[in-house]
Amino acid sequence: MTKTSFADKAALMSPRTAKYVEAMIREGDSFDYNRWLKRVREEEAKAKWTDVGGTSGELVAVKIGKPMMLSTSDDQHAWPNPPLPLIPKTILAPRVLRQPYRQAKSQMTNARLRRWLERIRRACDDFQARRARDAVYEYLAAVFAIVMHYKVRRRTTRLLRHAFEFANLPLDKNTDPFSAVIRCTSERDIDNKTISKWARALRYVARSKEPRTRLKIFMKEVGGVNACAARYAELRRHRRSFP
């Protein structure tokens, strides 16, 4: 193979294959493949670092905070692979930024409570309009439900504050929650004696009724509203533990 024909065919070979053929032609029988391969690998490694680091082989320091990149003396060569993407860091919002969310949530909760009180007031209006014998149980069941809901969650003070505000009455934190809700949803159409009796009856129900038993069924089995109120008063006279 002549040098001219080799140059023509070398264009179709990979760089390492062309070097291999050229070494075999040049060295002939004295060609040592292992020695040649070691020399070629050293030359390729040196050429690779020269391309990355520049002709001088020196690396320029990279500023902190910038994507990782190697600069050369002529600023023409860059890192062959793109920099890794930055991992986003979760940053907690300051308390000042979270405050509007809390205010919106509180306003939504207050609006829900007000709608609940409005439904209880309508139940009271229906009871007074119908004047049916058993109609009072529906109203007392609504009062019982809202008081027990906030009592279990230890939010009775919140209920009292919004109930008195709902009725435009001065707040009394020491009042019984059953009495307060009845007073604030009856629009002052029910006298104090009746309010006290109904509240005693509901306190007895809260102490004695099974959770799955309907209020109307329980109170009628005991003997009605008056009987529940009397049983509560009897227990109080005997100084039993009672909420």
Q: pTM for this structure?
A: 0.56
Which tokens hold the place of 87?
A: 């991992």
What burial class does residue 101 get, using C-beta atoms within 10 Å of its C-beta: 0-12 exposed, 13-18 middle, 19+ buried? Answer: exposed
Lowest mean pLDDT among 96-105, 107-116, 123-132: 96-105
Residue 145 lies in a domain: yes
Residue 184 lies in a domain: yes
Residue 79 lies in a domain: no
Question: pLDDT per residue over 60-92, tens digit each?
Answer: 444 444 444 444 444 444 445 555 656 655 555
Q: What is the DSSP letter of 29?
A: G
Residue 4 lies in a domain: no
- Residue 24 has a pLDDT of 76
Question: pLDDT per residue over 19-53, tens digit each?
Answer: 777 777 787 777 788 887 888 888 888 877 765 55
Q: Could you tell me the pLDDT band of residue 237, with boundaries at 50, 70 and 90? A: confident
- Residue 18 has a pLDDT of 76
Number of domains making up the chain: 1
| Residues in CB range of 197: below 8 A, 6 or more apart | 225, 226, 229
Q: Which domain holds residue 115?
A: 109-237
Cβ burial 59-98 (10 Å sphere, 16+ → b, else e): eeeeeeeeeeeebbeeeebeeeeeeeeeeeeeeeeeeeee
Residue 122 lies in a domain: yes
